A = this chain, B = another copy of it.
Amino acid sequence: MKSEIIAVGSEMLTPYRQDTNSLYITEKLNEIGVLVAFKTIVGDRRKDLVRAVRTALERSDLLVMIGGLGPTEDDLTREAIADALSLTIKRDAQIVAALHARAAAWRITMPQNNLKQADLLEGATVLTNPNGSAPGQWLDVVYAGYRKLVMLLPGPPSECRPLFDAECIPRLREIIPPRHIARRTLRAAMIPESQADKLLAPIYTTYPDVETTILAHAGDIQLMLLCGKSNPEEARQRVDELAGRMEEALEDWLYSSEGETLEQIVLYYLGLRQATLAVAESCTGGLVAQRITSVPGASRSFLGGAVVYSNELKTAMAGVPADLIATHGAVSEEVAQALASGIRRRTGATIGLGITGIAGPTGGTDDKPVGLVYVAVSDAQKTDVLSRNFRGDRQRIREYASQCALDFVRRRLM
């Protein structure tokens, strides 16, 4: 079964906005074994919409159309479907009543143009939208001799997504032969993408029935495995078998077998060891702390830390001796170590993390180029330090440095 998603809205044809609903819908369609063959983005022009719908019906069996169901003159999805399929439109008394009830509940007078949302296509099933005023519509029609399933969904993600889950997926499950999907996400840190691919390609290519997607970003690699079978155990087994072989190949680059983020894993190990962490960040400027505290419940193991951008603060807040900075420079192995051990002592944490480097774009020298980063981890026994030369712009260097630092803590905890 070939499916197509049309996202409707002129704003998505500007340089500023992107359709994101289709990613969600794609994931849900994949889960029931339906692949997406085309995505189209089209503006709020009736003629263009009709063209896009006709094209979709000619090349696809299932059409999900998102947006253009609101009350304004620009909302033309209903009209476009009516034109393309030669259907009539009738105002539906039940939807009108629901619109009035909704306005009454909100204690507002309903604007007259809101009634447009009660326009129902001939033969359509209403998909009740609990999160907004425009209901969806479901059509099961014949076009040019072929059966076509057409779903009209409102554009706001908070309406579109729950409506698709609640109203479309169950209907599709009744029509489409059952298929069971098993998934796994593995994650690895700081392994170069090319090296990961060299290690893994010989493995995953021997599992053509498992779809493997590799996403790489600033020292983080995600491997998403997906397998659909009529037998649920078989799907599960294939995914687990491939995941097991990949885990083995990735050795200790692998940090997560079930999709957890690196900051979640670090917090998990801290909890397990009943340890606490504090950080002293220079070049990452709070990024590591921010990543850790983005996890709910981080306060159980994360005490906090210092953002020590100036040399004075390195001394005042993390106890780095001023003469150490004078001798070795703020970006040095010695200062990274002093940051880690200093913040540990100042805060009473089990583990201290220190980061110093040159994020750029200026401030580099021949000896210490932009991208040079030192990371140190300190506990009561010892302080380890590593240095890296990251490439890229300021943002990328900071992201790499934060990833490298979190991974260094993870390795210490393992």
Contacts and interface: CB of A to CB of B under 8 A. Distances in A.
Interface of A: 11-18, 20, 23-24, 26-27, 30, 35-43, 45, 48, 51-52, 55, 59, 213, 215, 224, 278-279, 281, 284-290, 292-294, 296-299, 302-310, 312-313, 316-317, 346-348, 359-362, 394-395, 398
Contacts of A317: 304, 306, 317, 346-347
B213 A11 contact: yes
27 contacts: A12-B39, A14-B213, A15-B23, A16-B23, A16-B215, A18-B18, A37-B42, A37-B45, A37-B48, A38-B40, A38-B52, A39-B40, A39-B41, A281-B286, A284-B290, A285-B294, A285-B304, A286-B287, A286-B288, A286-B289, A286-B293, A289-B307, A290-B290, A303-B312, A304-B313, A306-B317, A316-B346
Given A304-B308, A306-B304, A312-B348, A16 B294 contact: no
Contacts of A16: 23, 213, 215, 224
A54 to B, nearest CB: 9
A119 B290 CA distance: 49
B395 A294 contact: yes
Nearest to A309: B304
B306 A307 contact: yes
Contacts of A48: 37-38, 59
Contacts of A278: 313
Residue from the set A284, A309, A395 with the largest chain B CB neighbour count within 10 Å: A309
A41 B38 contact: yes
Contact of A307 (B27, B30, B51, B305): B305
Contacts of A55: 55
Nearest to A395: B294
Residue from the set A30, A40, A297, A302 with the largest chain B CB neighbour count within 10 Å: A40
A19 to B, nearest CB: 8
Contact of A26 (B13, B40, B52): B13
Residue from the set A42, A224, A313, A361 with the largest chain B CB neighbour count within 10 Å: A313
A304 B296 contact: no
Contacts of A292: 285
A201 to B, nearest CB: 13
B18 A23 contact: yes
A9 to B, nearest CB: 11
Nearest to A51: B59
Contact of A15 (B11, B30, B43, B361): B30
Residue from the set A48, A59, A288, A307 with the largest chain B CB neighbour count within 10 Å: A307
Contacts of A361: 296
A296 B26 contact: no
Contact of A13 (B39, B294, B296): B39
Given A27-B15, A313-B347, A285 B289 contact: yes
A292 to B, nearest CB: 7
A27 to B, nearest CB: 4
B43 A37 contact: yes
